[in-house]
Amino acid sequence: MAVKVIHESTVEELDLPGRNLRWVVTPKNTDAKYCSMAVIRVAPGEKVRPAHSHPDGEEVIYILSGHGRVLVNGEVAEVQTGSAVLFPQGEIHMLQNLSEVEMKVACFFAPPASLKNYAFFEDVDFPDAG
């Protein structure tokens, strides 16, 4: 089997609410069986919307640049470059960029995820949001 190397620039970028997303590692483009990986870019002040969960698996995010905060099941925590956060299976979460630069985040999913297996929660927001 050949080594699968995928550069993010070769993957279609989706313009989604609060972020731009590229599915870098998927079962389709790498034959991955147990995971997938995306890269998102979040503009200054933006929130990844809507809040969502992954009913069928876990997500780990790793902040590559910028800083901000996460909401996980009603709890808010600060994140910065170098931070990793686990979003447990089924727990509602969102991310906000509070920095003055674009936030770049690597998102790892097990088992493989796609937008088709997200659950969305339009009415959930950070506690101090108006």
What is the reported pTM?
0.94
The answer to whether residue 113 is domain-embedded is: yes
CA distance 64 to 27: 24
Let me know: does 54 contact 89? Beta carbons within 8 Å.
yes
Burial 35-49 (b: 16+ CB within 10 A, else e): bbbbbbbbeeebbbb
Please give the tally of structural domains in the chain: 1
Confidence at residue 6, expressed as pLDDT on a 0 to 100 scale:
96
The answer to whether residue 83 is domain-embedded is: yes
Quickly state the pLDDT bin for 67 (edges 50, 70, 90): very high
CATH code (residue 104): 2.60.120.10
pLDDT tens-place string over residues 117-129: 999 999 999 997 5
Confidence at residue 130, expressed as pLDDT on a 0 to 100 scale:
47
The answer to whether residue 57 is domain-embedded is: yes
Q: Can you give the residue range of the structural domain that contains 36?
A: 14-121
Let me know: does 66 contact 103? Beta carbons within 8 Å.
yes
User: Does the structure show a pLDDT above 80 at 63?
Assistant: yes
Average pLDDT score over the chain:
96
Instruction: Tell me the average pLDDT across 6-16.
Output: 97
The answer to whether residue 44 is domain-embedded is: yes
Instruction: Tell me the average pLDDT across 80-95.
Output: 98
Instruction: Tell me the average pLDDT across 78-93.
Output: 98
